[in-house]
Chains A and B, each alone.
Chain A
């Protein structure tokens, strides 16, 4: 068991290192797809913290992704704050939103939380469209977001941005792995499986769940910053309810609480549609059928989480 886990880690590290070479092997449009994969993988992993690990039905996760993107876009375009400085702020604000929005709703039973988070998503998108205070740019959004610079180096090229995204994905993967083997991560699983039993063992459900929401939102905020940079523009349509549904589906289709599962799910739900762009019309029809088929054939997801002893 233990040997296998180490091998899994090694394999992951190896794949990640190999990924660094992608810009040398692919043309720029594919490098851009790879960069989007990294960004959406971080978002999906952040949804997994809340949905897959803590078992809270969050179907409005695009909100936190969006908050991250808008924070970076607004700070960078109006106050000229350097991109990499906006990143911690994006994470912090997304985390605060996650904690604040979830705190009163956490005691709700699964389906009600799901409905409430759908509501948050709808309100968020409407708010961005209605351009409150003239800061969100309405339906057109915000354009002209700058490029990040690291130690005076402008990360302008597609490859440089890819490496930034890829490096941060690596960090997030490490955090997700550590989550498996720390008390906080286990507390999430206790709560997911039996909240009453967990609380009689001293797990403070309210605190742990709020923290999970904040962490998931913070990581989504991080991805939001990267997203804004990658597109150099943000608009409400990138954070609509359908995006939340896709993130939700990635976690369930891939495998709840399973890192390889979520990565595979991201690849299937975000990258494959890019490949079949020419079939645009049939794409989502086939997609819907595939979602049903995967669930019926593999209800636990494509790569379910392994039972582990340690």
Chain B
């Protein structure tokens, strides 16, 4: 019973992070039909920027919540800026080209960012300070719940709810949804598609930076190739929920987090990833458009 509750808490924590990162994949895919392979690396870049803020100004003692908040804000701004820049340089010129050209451009961007991180911060594993947050823990039904976990779960929930409201209940959110269904029609209706795309490259990487920083805080480490690993997981989450589908990415993230936690808890950890990928393939076979269905219209 204790393990069971523990796995749920662990799963929800990781799932919240996956969901935050998955939203960036799904929003970009929804509007541009592009798998932004560089997204995971952007998120980890966010973790590194945040880490630099935290360690660079830590004068010993308790850095406190204010510093953490500052690191978050700087990281969000930096990564959103990088996202917009990435779109301008690597994706916008290829909008009318063969889709695969954009895919390779995204792969190149991923390689560039990943190795850029290595050049700046070095190839070693960086440890996140342990005194960022109170070490408080709670014991519930035989499981141990840490302050960090509660913070991550709550923050992810709040951010997802905010995004959901923004996309479904504001004019600009409607524009994003319209552009995702049919760019040309949206343009004819007077929607500025370029602005929508730019906004998607602000929101996605912005949320991703938070996700990246959460990864660093939760696992207390960051290294330059992390983007691939977590990016891939988040991407699987997006597919699981139905790519292009915003609530789908949230659901997919949480489910994948839970699935991973239980796989790690009950199955040999060396096969954990294989099981996750196996699940992905089964889902693709049984329900290729994801659990909540993709939001991509195709005409015969």
Contact = CB atoms under 8 A, between A and B. Distances in A.
Interface of A: 51, 57, 104-105, 108-112, 114-116, 118-120, 122-123, 126-127, 129-130, 196, 241, 245, 248-249, 252-253, 256, 281-285, 287-292, 295-296, 299-300
Interface string B95-115: 001111111110111111111
Contacts of A287: 108, 111-112, 115
A130 B108 CA distance: 30
B105 to A, nearest CB: 4
A130 B99 CA distance: 36
A104 B105 CA distance: 29
Instruction: Give the top 6 A-B pairs by smallest Cβ distance, nearest first.
Output: A291-B108, A288-B112, A288-B111, A299-B97, A285-B115, A119-B277
10 contacts: A104-B285, A108-B288, A114-B35, A120-B281, A126-B270, A248-B103, A282-B115, A289-B112, A292-B108, A295-B108
B215 interface: no
Main SS class of interface, A: helix
B280 interface: yes
Interface residues of B, number: 46
B274 A289 contact: no
B100 A256 contact: yes
Nearest to B235: A115
Contact of B101 (A114, A116, A295): A295
A296 B104 contact: no
B81 interface: no
Contacts of B94: 295-296, 299
Given A196-B300, A296-B93, A116 B281 contact: yes
A104 B109 CA distance: 32
A112, A114, A118, most chain B CB atoms within 10 A: A112
Nearest to B270: A130
Given A122-B274, A295-B101, A299-B101, A288 B113 contact: yes
A249 B118 contact: no
Contact of A252 (B100, B243, B284): B100
B2 interface: no
Given A114-B103, A122-B273, 6 more contacts: A110-B99, A123-B277, A126-B273, A289-B108, A292-B112, A295-B97
B232 interface: yes
B280 to A, nearest CB: 5
Given A253-B104, A288-B111, A112 B288 contact: yes
B239, B281, B298, most chain A CB atoms within 10 A: B281
A120 B281 CA distance: 8
Contact of A116 (B33, B100, B284): B284
B277 A292 contact: no
Interface of B: 33, 35, 89-90, 93-94, 97-105, 107-116, 118-119, 228, 232, 235-236, 239, 243, 270-271, 273-274, 277-278, 280-281, 284-285, 288, 298, 300
Contacts of B33: 111
Contacts, number: 128
A295 B111 CA distance: 14
A107 to B, nearest CB: 8
B98 A300 contact: yes
A256 B94 CA distance: 16
A104, A252, A281, most chain B CB atoms within 10 A: A252
Contact of B271 (A109, A130, A253): A130
B280 A116 contact: yes
A123 B104 contact: no
Contacts of B235: 115
A284 to B, nearest CB: 4
Nearest to B99: A110
Contact of A299 (B98, B112, B273): B98
Contact of A129 (B100, B115, B270, B285): B270
A55 B109 CA distance: 23
B116 A285 contact: yes
A100 to B, nearest CB: 13
B116 A290 contact: no
A20 B228 CA distance: 40
Nearest to A256: B100
Contacts of B99: 110
A291 B111 contact: yes
A296 B119 contact: no
A289 B112 CA distance: 6
B35 A111 contact: yes
Nearest to B104: A252
B274 A123 contact: yes
Contacts of A115: 235-236, 239, 280, 284
A255 to B, nearest CB: 11
Contacts of A291: 104-105, 107-108, 111
Nearest to B113: A288
B82 to A, nearest CB: 14
Contacts of B105: 291-292, 295-296
A108 B239 CA distance: 13
A26 to B, nearest CB: 29
A268 B256 CA distance: 38
A104 B281 CA distance: 10
A126 B274 contact: yes
A281 B115 CA distance: 8
